Amino acid sequence: MVEQGAVNSEVVDSIPTIAVINLFKGNIMIKIVKIYGTHCYPCKLLVPILEKIKQNYSGIIIEEVNIDDGVPQEYQDLNIMQTPTLIFYKDNKIISTLSGLQTYEKIEEQIKNV
């Protein structure tokens, strides 16, 4: 189970087109990739939800994949049909995805189940 704790977060600005949240669960790394569009209203509503996740879980790094800039090669084979899409990785393997606007509780449930 991922423990909630003191805020120990870092926003990475050096790669502005890729959105990645890294959450460390013991020695297991969970990575969440957020795919969004600039004019996507649900994507904008997801921002404060992910900020709350970042505040409540330590070791989180947040970046974004803006599909308006084109879909990076590593995501093209995923056939993403809706934004926002969150892709959850463990050990560099996709373990689940969530499409559309999600609640804090639903995202937290995915994190805890990894």
Strand partners, 97: 87
Can you give the pLDDT at residue 9? 36
* pLDDT 10s digits, 7-62: 333 433 333 344 555 555 554 577 888 999 999 999 999 999 999 988 887 656 66
Quick: pLDDT tens for 78-102: 888 899 999 888 877 888 899 999 9
> Higher model confidence: residue 104 or residue 31?
104
- Eight-state DSSP code of residue 103: -
Where on the phi/psi map is residue 75: left (φ > 0), alpha (ψ -120 to 50), or beta? alpha
For the chain, domain boundaries: 10-112
Architecture of the domain defined by 10-112: 3-Layer(aba) Sandwich (3.40)
